[in-house]
Amino acid sequence: MGRMAGELMDNKGRGEAGWNWPAIHPEGRKFGLIAAAASLGTALLAWETIAWPLAFLTLGVLAFFRDPERVVPQDERAIVSPADGLVSLIMQVEPPAELQGLDGSGANGLPARPVTRISIFMSVFDVHINRSPIGGIVRRLVYVPGKFMNADLDKASEENERQHILVERADGVMIGFTQIAGLVARRIVPFVKPGDFLAVGQRVGLIRFGSRVDVYLPAGTDSKVLVGQKVIAGETVLAEIGQQLLIEGVAQ
């Protein structure tokens, strides 16, 4: 039995869980239909050498745009992952200029000093729906055109096509994160706009076909995840606000 959307789950056994086929996001249905139509058309023409690869392509497209439900931690200290993927970089850097200082409305942004940045690389096999790491109001959404370099490179944060999002909680804590296009990704699709109120883990957008998301933690907060760790959007806790702690892991 699948659980209902919005059902409260806890670590004491409350709630019901069951496996369901993940939904396909509407953004991907048209691509799936195009691939399926092409596969069916070539099959009717008896072009089997083309029809079978197109059938597998259809399945791949539908899998790429899958949009599974997630059980989002409801802890005011938690910053959850905005993306599925591999933690490829953890560095001390200044936030992007687009997320710093005052904006046109006079609202404050992130301070111009180094903070911990967690970079999450999404392969074409990962879910590409991105989610908000905290609950709050969208203060900024800034699109920056750019290149389509390998998103695994550090300089992709400054040179690739990207979209910056700044979310502020009711207590003033702000988290900035950046959707970055990669070698294959060619479009960043936002689901939100400035002024929107978000719940933690709420869907905010997607990046088509392989990319990366950078998260800028508040000052005085360290990562709880490790380089090389696999994280899940809306579920994995990247950090706890105000916690600074060295955590080590061993690849095996």
Residues 184 and 227 in one domain: yes
Q: At what angle do helices 48-64 and 26-44 cross, to 10 degrees?
A: 170
Residues 59 and 101 in one domain: no
Residues 29 and 95 in one domain: no
Domain count, the chain: 2
Cβ density class 41-51: b for 16+ within 10 Å, e for less: ebeeeeeeeeb
Residues 94 and 122 in one domain: yes
Q: Give the model's pLDDT for residue 159.
A: 62
Among candidates 241, 81, 118, which has minimal Cα distance to 172? 241
Check if the beta carbon of residue 236 is closer than 8 Å to that of residue 94.
Answer: no
Residues 63 and 137 in one domain: no
Please list the pLDDT of the chain residue by residue as tens digits (252 residues): 445 557 888 888 888 888 888 888 887 777 778 777 888 878 777 777 887 788 787 787 787 788 999 999 999 999 999 999 999 999 999 999 999 987 776 678 899 999 999 999 998 889 989 999 999 999 999 998 865 555 455 555 566 788 999 999 999 999 999 999 866 555 788 899 999 999 999 999 988 766 899 999 999 999 999 999 999 999 999 999 999 988 999 988
Q: Give the model's pLDDT for residue 102.
A: 78
Helices (H), 20-65: 26-44, 48-64
Give domain status of residue 5, yes or no. Answer: no
27 CA to centre of own chain:
16
Residues 168 and 135 in one domain: yes
What's the rounded Cα separation, in Å, for the pair 26 and 162?
22
Which residues span the domain enclosing 231? Answer: 78-240
Q: Give the model's pLDDT for residue 210.
A: 62
Q: Which of these is catalytic: 39, 81, 119, 211?
A: 211
- Sequence length of the chain is 252
Give domain status of residue 120, yes or no. Answer: yes
pTM for the full predicted model? 0.85
> Which residue has 């105000």 as its token pair?
242
Give domain status of residue 4, yes or no. Answer: no
Give domain status of residue 36, yes or no. Answer: yes
The CATH number covering residue 85 comes to 2.70.70
Write the DSSP assignment of 85-135 as a string of letters: EEEEEEEEEPPPGGGBS--TTS---B-SS-EEEEEEEE-TTS--EEE-SS-
211 given a catalytic annotation = yes
Residues 89 and 51 in one domain: no
The one-letter amino acid code at 78 reads A
What's the rounded Cα separation, in Å, for the pair 187 and 77?
32
Phi, psi values for residue 119, rounded to 5°: -105, 130
Sign of torsion, CA 8 14 20 22? positive
Residues 45 and 166 in one domain: no
